[in-house]
Amino acid sequence: MSEWITDSQDEQNFESLLRDADQIHIPIFQRSYVWKSKQLSELLADIDQVRSEVEETQFMGAIVAYEKPRRGNTVGRMRALEVVDGQQRLLTLYVFVMAVVECIAQFDKEEAFELVQEYLLLSPRRGLDINTRIVPAFADRSQFRVIWDRINSPSVLQDELAELQLHLPPPSGEADGDLVGQYYRILRHLKAESQVDPDEASEYLRETVGIVTRNLSFVHLKLTDASAATKIFERLNFRGVKVGVVDLVRNEIFSSLAEDPAKAQRVFDHVWRPFEEAFGDRAEAFFFPYCLIHDSNTKKSELFMQLRASWRGRTPEQMISDMKPLQGPFLAIDQTGHQPKSKEISKRLERLVRMRRPASVYPYVMSMLLAYENSSVAEKTVVSLLDALESFLVRRAIVGLEPTGLHAVFKGLWTQMKKHDVAEFKRQIKVRPTIQWPSDGEVVAAVEKRALARANICGYLLVEYDRDLKGDNPPLVPTIEHILPQTLDDDSEWAKRFSKEQHKHMKDLLANVIPLSSPLNSSLQDSSYAVKKDRYKKESMFTTPRDLASRWSSWGPKSIGQRSEVLAEWAVARWSDSL
């Protein structure tokens, strides 16, 4: 090819890719082939642009792959790639060549067989169970066999293929679907375009296969580690579905069963699927804390590499069983807030989930919960440590400290603690000069002066205060009502009580906000305090508004100052520094 679209040294066509890699593998449990007539029409338009010499080449985007470890029983050179992204394009090009082979075999079997040797099959070698140049995903293998059965038929190349000893992937998935459908579309197109005399038809087919294999290019991104794929997907706009760590893990687990589809399906259905589905949509978040628990020095960029190393020589069932004990602890801190053996621990976990704890604490909490489940620590110990963790996190949130730096604290904290008690937890935190555990004075100052109504922690503070008032504890998630409205109308009653400067500094203080149901909040808007107070008493399902209305007959700067003192005293006692 005389001219590439990009100046990248990694730009390739299908032909050059197959010179670099003997075999291209689609992860067996990656999604199935899904391209339909729309995508084929776009591909045919690209081919026509080259055929008509409008373009010399057409660019198809990026193919992302990493080198698949060589099987020890395979004799001779054997370099295989595992495709992270690009299976739709590569599989389409492959079956396009198959369709050309079927068509050209009607005129010249020798030329058709040469195309098979060059693009479709590997030559026989000992230890090679499958010798197709592309090995499709698990769901597409029965369709793949249907297409190959057409090529390996007496009317096409059955006699010639005997020399190459065709070894197809074992059938799996449905025998009819998008891959077979796409093949028939290509076949119909080729036959319609080559309905002329044999010489012209052969020339058309030769030209077509030349364009498909040499004039359609893509940038081949070669990963040193498959975990880098997630970073690449954040920066490139590919068609299709983003591949995440869970997809890479799934493929790694089942790669050893690629040649045993019956067992792979059984393990997938009865072991992997229940494990993955239990995460809901949060499986991606599990693997990093899981790895940190085993090696606190793990970097996200090394995540998949570490998993692979730790699983070397293990069966799929063993790999999943390694992760299973930490699944429950992960779900408890990530979403459920539930420890089945302990109501007291569950209370603390529920609060941590509701306050939207930073993900940096996951390895620490997961390790703690696993130790409890293994009877290594007592319930009382876990309860006290979770209380201490909550106090630390809430205090930091109140004073406005970002969670930056907490990853370094918590990634290996459980194993670093000499004793699993609160004193050691606080010592581990306070010996780190860059990590602040706010004092009572700092918390009081923040409650009295900081615009906490705009902070993420505000909703949690309002609910916890309401619950501490011993009311009905409604399950409804409240909205935040500003008693002094957020906007100050010059003609309102509020303008008589607050100057513009006072309004600016007081409207978003914690003392000026309360929890309300959304309908009640919406109906009050900028009403006077007299109106609000009456409706707080009569209509609020939350205790806080009723308590506030009974304590303060009017609402002005002095009232906000008084309530700020009440809330500050409550906060330092509720999240005590002397646990």
Over residues 239-257, the pLDDT tens digits come to: 444 567 888 788 788 877 7
Q: What is the mean pLDDT of residues 467-471?
A: 87
Q: How confident is the model at residue 261 (pLDDT cuts 50, 70, 90)?
A: confident
* CB 276, CB 251: distance < 8 Å: no
Answer left, alpha or beta for residue 462, where phi above 0 means left and psi between -120 and 50 means alpha. Answer: alpha
CB < 8 Å & 24+ apart, contacts of 374-379: 377/420, 379/341, 379/342, 379/344, 379/345
Q: Which of the two residues, 200 and 388, has the higher pLDDT score? A: 388
pLDDT value of position 479: 94
Say yes or no to pLDDT of 509 above 80.
Answer: yes
DSSP codes, 100-115: HHHHHTTT-HHHHHHH
**What pTM, to 2 d.p., does this model score?**
0.75
Over residues 340-375, the pLDDT tens digits come to: 999 999 999 999 999 999 999 999 999 999 999 999
Over residues 410-461, the pLDDT tens digits come to: 999 999 999 999 999 999 998 988 899 999 999 999 999 999 999 999 999 9
Which amino acid is it at 32?
S
Q: What's the CA gap between 402 and 406, in Å, rounded?
A: 9
Q: What's the CA gap between 377 and 554, in Å, rounded?
A: 52
Give whole-number Cα distances, 217 to 1, 83, 108, 134, 161, in Å. Answer: 10, 16, 28, 18, 29
Over residues 517-568, the pLDDT tens digits come to: 999 999 998 899 999 999 999 999 999 999 999 999 999 999 999 999 999 9
pLDDT value of position 48: 92
Q: Which of the two residues, 163 and 134, has the higher pLDDT score? A: 134
pLDDT value of position 243: 62
The mean of the pLDDT values for the chain is 89
Q: How confident is the model at residue 226 (pLDDT cuts 50, 70, 90)?
A: low
Say yes or no to pLDDT of 206 above 50.
Answer: yes
Say yes or no to pLDDT of 233 above 50.
Answer: no
Say yes or no to pLDDT of 6 above 60.
Answer: no
Q: Both tokens of residue 518?
A: 């959304």
pLDDT value of position 220: 86
Q: Which of 225-229, 300-304, 503-507 has the lowest mean pLDDT?
A: 225-229
Give whole-number Cα distances, 382 to 345, 415, 422, in Å. Answer: 7, 15, 10
Over residues 37-73, the pLDDT tens digits come to: 999 999 999 999 988 888 888 988 888 888 876 665 5
Q: Both tokens of residue 24?
A: 């291209």
Over residues 84-93, the pLDDT tens digits come to: 888 999 999 9
pLDDT value of position 126: 64
Could you tell me the residue ranges of all domains in the chain? 11-235, 245-437, 442-574
pLDDT value of position 222: 80
* CB 89, CB 63: distance < 8 Å: yes
CA angle 23, 26, 29 (to 5 degrees): 145
Q: Which of the two residues, 491 and 451, has the higher pLDDT score? A: 451
DSSP codes, 390-440: HHHHHHHHHHT--STTHHHHHSSHHHH-SSSSHHHHHHHHHT-TT-----H
Give whole-number Cα distances, 376 to 336, 369, 373, 381, 484, in Å. Answer: 23, 10, 8, 10, 52
Q: What is the mean pLDDT of residues 215-219?
A: 91
Q: How confident is the model at residue 194 (pLDDT cuts 50, 70, 90)?
A: confident
* CB 529, CB 493: distance < 8 Å: yes
- Could you tell me which residues come within 8 angstroms of residue 180 by beta carbon, excluding any fewer than 6 positions away? 143, 146, 147
Q: How confident is the model at residue 329 (pLDDT cuts 50, 70, 90)?
A: very high
Most confident of 158-167, 200-209, 307-316, 383-392: 383-392
Say yes or no to pLDDT of 237 above 50.
Answer: no
